[in-house]
Amino acid sequence: MSLVERDLAVIWHPYTQMKTALPPVPIVRGEGACLYDENGKRYIDGVSSWWVNIHGHAHPYIAQKVAEQLKKLEHVMFAGFTHEGAVELAERLLAIIPNNQKKVFYSDNGSTAVEVAMKMCLQYWHNTGNDRTKILAFKDAYHGDTFGAMAVSGRSAFTAPFDPLLFEVEFIDLPNENNIQDLKSQISNLGSELACFIFEPLVQGTAGMIMYKPEHLNELMTHCRKEGVLMIADEIFTGFGRTGKLFATDYVTEQPDMMCFSKGLTGGTMALGITTCTQQVYDAFLSDDKLKTLFHGHSFTANPVACSAALASLDLTLQDSTMQNISRIITMHSQFAERIKHHPKIRTTRQTGTILAMEWETGSNTSYFSNLRDRLYTYFLDAGIILRPLGNILYILPPYCITDDELTYIYRKIEQALEDI
């Protein structure tokens, strides 16, 4: 029995329950920006394996650090215990994110990092004797697939079976020069009911790589600060260089009260989640009253092996060569976008840092379930490229180690697809 046959017999893959879904591609190894299947076919990972892989697959430095850690300590519960990796990672992360962030809370993936942040916000107001329970979020947001994270995400086909069970959220449009005053008025009208504002800074990934300007986000954040609304920056996707700076919040002057990290945190090696917060938020839980405790924990909180992967990934991220690679990708994306932007099949192109999105002309059918999505996915897979369109939005989000030749090949195949499809 082949690997694919064995897989189909026992595994439930995400987003593949349709009877017409393609069988999974059996990947046996990775190297750099590429993955290889059991027949030796090479695939350029143009989407960083769901946006997590930032330094390339099977990176020897990360592998070395993980192997060393496995020989020392694989895990210890983080309730009442600590270890060197967790402390060092917290220290190093706090040194490079906005300086109002003072405490690190570990969990085990992006959704749980968001859940922790929302619980921190809501319990902060409870612990301080204030009745603030409403949450503000952007329309079409995506913050994860657990119930709390779904609740603050835009309502869609992904949430439809659960909509009656999700708590109410105040959704607002992305800010621009025409609506910013109206958005600030909406926030003011909610007044003392509003507990927090959660947002994907600069880029809404799952919504279709929708991008908005930092100056408008900054103005909205400043107004939230004025109204006493806590702010959660969800940097799970945008963190660790994706937007051209280390973090998307580096583009604004206002600072969030909480930040969420995962995906590129470990260089795509394994699952780890982090939620950071200000001293003010932490102090609302610091008490002799046990009922003010944040009762949240995971079995694999601050797993030492995951922390070692994150520390190794951070070493690589902060190297000059990595920032040079990011700049190189940004320049190449920009030049390619300029070359194709007037093609009749391209409705628009948009770019923030290493994220390049191309919206294909499909008439009225622009949904996630557009047939164009499947045709494009298969077309590029046949060409040895992993690109996973969001409906009619094709995007490139490569590992920073991708070579000029590999990136040029992706561009060339996109131009060929514009003629073939």
pLDDT digit string, tens, across residues 9-37: 888 888 776 666 778 999 999 999 999 99
The reported pLDDT for the residue numbered 19 is: 65
Kindly report, residue by residue over 333-384, the tens digit of the pLDDT: 999 999 999 999 999 999 999 999 999 998 766 666 778 999 999 999 999 9
**Short-list 421, 264, 291, 394, CA closest to 337:** 394
Assess whether pLDDT exceeds 80 at residue 168.
Answer: yes
CATH number of the domain bearing residue 357: 3.90.1150.10
Tell me the mean pLDDT in the region 86-92.
97
Query: Do residues 207 and 140 make contact, with C-beta atoms less than 8 angstroms apart?
Result: yes
Do 39 and 135 share a structural domain?
no
Name the DSSP class of 269. Answer: S
CATH number of the domain bearing residue 185: 3.40.640.10
As a whole number of angstroms, the distance between CA 259 and CA 397 comes to 22
Do 84 and 186 share a structural domain?
yes
63 is a domain residue: no
Do 401 and 342 share a structural domain?
yes
Do 359 and 306 share a structural domain?
no
141 is a domain residue: yes
Listed residues 301, 317, 333: the one ending a domain: 317
Do 295 and 203 share a structural domain?
yes
Q: Which residues pair with 36 in a beta bridge?
A: 29, 42
As a whole number of angstroms, the distance between CA 139 and CA 46 comes to 27
Structure pTM?
Answer: 0.95
Do 257 and 201 share a structural domain?
yes
Tell me the mean pLDDT in the region 69-74.
98
The reported pLDDT for the residue numbered 199 is: 98
64 is a domain residue: no
Listed residues 277, 297, 317: the one ending a domain: 317
Query: Do residues 236 and 263 make contact, with C-beta atoms less than 8 angstroms apart?
Result: yes
CA distances from 136 to 170, 198, 201, 232 (A): 5, 6, 14, 10
Q: Which residues contact residue 24 at a Cβ distance below 8 angstroms, ignoring those fewer than 6 apart?
A: 4, 7, 8, 11, 13, 16
State the number of CA atoms in the 13 A half-sphere of 387 facing the CB: 31
- Percent of the chain at pLDDT above 90? 89
**Short-list 398, 397, 386, 387, CA closest to 42:** 386
Listed residues 259, 293, 317: the one ending a domain: 317
As a whole number of angstroms, the distance between CA 68 and CA 70 comes to 6
Do 266 and 210 share a structural domain?
yes
Mean pLDDT over the full length of the chain: 95
Count of structural domains, the chain: 2
| Beta pairing class for 230-234 and 258-261 | parallel
The reported pLDDT for the residue numbered 366 is: 61
Do 234 and 142 share a structural domain?
yes
Token duo for residue 332: 């190449």
Query: Do residues 33 and 399 make contact, with C-beta atoms less than 8 angstroms apart?
Result: yes
Token duo for residue 155: 């309502």
The reported pLDDT for the residue numbered 182 is: 98
156 is a domain residue: yes
Residue-number span of the structural domain to which 306 is assigned = 73-317
The reported pLDDT for the residue numbered 20 is: 64
132 is a domain residue: yes
The reported pLDDT for the residue numbered 18 is: 66
Tell me the mean pLDDT in the region 167-182.
97
Which residues are tagged catalytic? 15, 142, 234, 263
What amino acid is encoded at 98 in this protein? Answer: P
Do 275 and 203 share a structural domain?
yes
- Secondary structure of residue 49 in the 3-state scheme: helix
67 is a domain residue: no
Do 148 and 121 share a structural domain?
yes
Token duo for residue 209: 């790589």
- Percent of the chain at pLDDT above 70? 98
As a whole number of angstroms, the distance between CA 172 and CA 160 comes to 19
Q: Which residues contact residue 165 at a Cβ distance below 8 angstroms, ignoring those fewer than 6 apart?
A: 147
Assess whether pLDDT exceeds 90 at residue 1.
Answer: no
* Radius of gyration of the chain, Cα coordinates, nearest whole angstrom: 22
Query: Do residues 332 and 407 make contact, with C-beta atoms less than 8 angstroms apart?
Result: yes
Do 277 and 399 share a structural domain?
no
Kindly report, residue by residue over 58-67, the tens digit of the pLDDT: 999 999 999 9
Which of 273-308 are b and which e, b meaning 16 or more Cβ less than 10 Å from the residue's Cβ? bbbbbbeebbebbeeeeeeeebeeebebbbbbbbbb
Do 129 and 228 share a structural domain?
yes
| Beta pairing class for 101-107 and 170-172 | unpaired
Query: Do residues 389 and 417 make contact, with C-beta atoms less than 8 angstroms apart?
Result: no
Would you place residue 51 in the very low, low, confident or very high pLDDT band (cuts 50, 70, 90)?
very high
Kindly report, residue by residue over 191-235, the tens digit of the pLDDT: 889 999 999 999 999 999 999 999 999 999 999 999 999 999 999
117 is a domain residue: yes
The reported pLDDT for the residue numbered 404 is: 98
As a whole number of angstroms, the distance between CA 44 and CA 316 comes to 21
The reported pLDDT for the residue numbered 407 is: 98
Phi, psi dihedral angles at 394 (to 5 degrees): -95, 130
367 is a domain residue: yes
Assess whether pLDDT exceeds 70 at residue 183.
Answer: yes
The reported pLDDT for the residue numbered 364 is: 65
